[in-house]
């Protein structure tokens, strides 16, 4: 399992909401790709989160909000990074694994929700 990192201080409230929705629904992944609407993988099927398509700068900001400064530097240098993090949601801790990568010059992010 990737090494846990402390909860990032500035995770976007919008991203927190998507992750919480996905975890509550039992989804295994949330995919954020510039140019596309966010989706969650629910029972093996990609299910839209009923949001508008993400612009590249917004996707980058969402991905950056998940990362510590060190993790983001590693992402820029290696073009991918894996780590786990814990986020508080309604008084409960949820642990997530993040696999972040740059594809074609754009950030892509399929954080995997795991309730522990």
Model confidence at 24: pLDDT above 90: no
Say what percent of the chain tops pLDDT 90: 16
Average pLDDT of 36-59? 91
pLDDT tens readout for residues 58-96:
988 888 888 888 888 888 899 888 888 888 877 888 888
CATH number of this structure's domain 4-114, picked from the four choices 3.10.129.10, 3.40.50.1820, 3.30.450.90, 3.40.50.880 = 3.30.450.90
Q: Can you give the pTM of this predicted structure? A: 0.78
Mean pLDDT over each residue of the chain, to the nearest integer: 81
CA distances from 63 to 14, 59, 91, 95 (A): 12, 6, 24, 17
């Amino acid at each position: 399992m990737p090494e846990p990192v402390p909860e990032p201080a500035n995770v976007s409230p919008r991203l927190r909401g998507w992750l919480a929705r996905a975890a509550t629904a039992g989804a295994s992944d949330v995919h954020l790709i510039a140019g596309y609407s966010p989706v969650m993988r629910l029972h093996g099927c990609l299910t839209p989160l009923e949001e508008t398509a993400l612009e590249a700068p917004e996707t980058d900001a969402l991905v950056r909000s998940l990362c510590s400064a060190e993790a983001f530097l590693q992402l820029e240098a290696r073009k991918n990074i894996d780590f786990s993090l814990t986020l508080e949601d309604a008084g409960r801790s949820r642990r997530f694994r993040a696999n972040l990568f740059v594809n074609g010059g754009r950030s892509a992010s399929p954080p995997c929700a795991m309730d522990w």
